[in-house]
Amino acid sequence: MSRIAIVTGADRGMGKETALALAKNHYTVIMACIDIQNADLTRDEIKSISGNKNIFVKKIDLSSVLSIKQFVQSFLQDFNRVNILINNAGITSMKYEITEDGFEKTMAVNAIGPYLLTKLLIPHFPPGEDNRIINLSSWFYKYGRFSIDKINKYHYVKAYAVSKYAQLLVALELADELKEKGITINAVDPGTVRTGIMVTNIWWRDFIINILLAPVYIDPKEGAATCIYLATSDEVKNETGNFYRKSGPIVLSGKYNNKAARTELLQYYEKISTLHL
């Protein structure tokens, strides 16, 4: 029986490259995407390239708690377990938007939604198997220090940075708890990847961003490499609670690996879970 992997945002960019790599490694891959039409095309492409027919698309909108719950329900109707969860999907909302559940949209999609998805799936990781969770963070976490009472008031670039820092803190904070359940969790900095996430559709702003980032841009395949390594390599089978860049762990300064911030964030998330799940 093949191992089962869920990849959010698997229809394009790094998510697509990750799903393709897992397919080539004979995983059953569930592509959790909001754009079903594009995801179906990507699924067919991955099937053709990999020769793996066990690639499935399921709809999820990570900005909606209802959609997250519906995704998990649909997933469990078809599959009785999950071995790999890759919280890859991400956005940068160009304007300040509040979701139907009362969260700033970038924060909802990049951090709150993935946490709620993770929480709902944790009971379905099978005991005694090689189970892994990977959170996509970013080098931009350094600009993401936040006040918990303002976490839904940040917008655009700051909100993106806060969401990526939150994804890192969650991986660090949940590591011990999940280890007891036989699950590892790590965070990844993929680098500065050439994707559409920072596109503003304002020509002069996009021109400046591209000029500034051109020297450090990497393509999605290279950006996905560390995530794929963490998902598939036996070398990191038992590694947990770490932050990886270029397939190696990096040491965080105490300023960013802050126990108080980690605890406060998880308490906030648990409050959300109690209210919405």
pLDDT at 207: 46
More confident residue, 25 or 219: 25
pLDDT at 245: 96
* Residue 200: CB atoms within 10 Å: 13
Class of residue 248 by CB neighbours under 10 A (exposed 0-12, middle 13-18, buried 19+): exposed
pLDDT at 196: 54
For residues 43 and 277, give the distance between their C-alpha atoms in angstroms, rounded to a whole number.
30
160 is catalytic: yes
How do residues 20-55 score in pLDDT, each as one tens digit? 999 999 999 999 999 999 999 999 999 999 999 999
pLDDT band at 79 (very low <50, low <70, confident <90, very high): very high
pLDDT at 94: 85
| Active-site annotation holder among 115, 154, 160, 165 | 160
User: What whole-number percentage of the chain has pLDDT above 70?
Assistant: 90
Q: Are 5 and 231 in contact (CB under 8 A)?
A: yes
For residues 213 and 143, give the distance between their C-alpha atoms in angstroms, rounded to a whole number.
17
Q: Which residue spans within 102-178 are E strands per DSSP?
A: 131-136
For the segment 174-187, the average pLDDT, to the nearest whole number, is 98
How do residues 106-157 score in pLDDT, each as one tens digit? 999 999 999 999 999 999 999 999 999 999 999 989 999 999 999 999 998 9
Mark residue 165 as left, alpha or beta (left: phi above 0; alpha: psi -120 to 50; beta: remaining).
alpha
pLDDT at 265: 98
Quote the tokens at residue 257: 């690996």
pLDDT at residue 204 is higher than 50: no
pLDDT at residue 82 is higher than 50: yes
pLDDT at 205: 46
How do residues 242-274 score in pLDDT, each as one tens digit? 999 999 999 999 899 999 999 999 999 999 999
pLDDT at 214: 47
pLDDT at residue 211 is higher than 90: no
What's the whole-number average pLDDT of the chain?
A: 92
pLDDT at residue 202 is higher than 60: no
For residues 262 and 266, give the distance between their C-alpha atoms in angstroms, rounded to a whole number.
6
More confident residue, 150 or 218: 150
Between the alpha carbon of residue 275 and those of residues 59, 102, 110, 182, 250, the distances in Å are 23, 12, 19, 27, 35
pLDDT at 195: 59
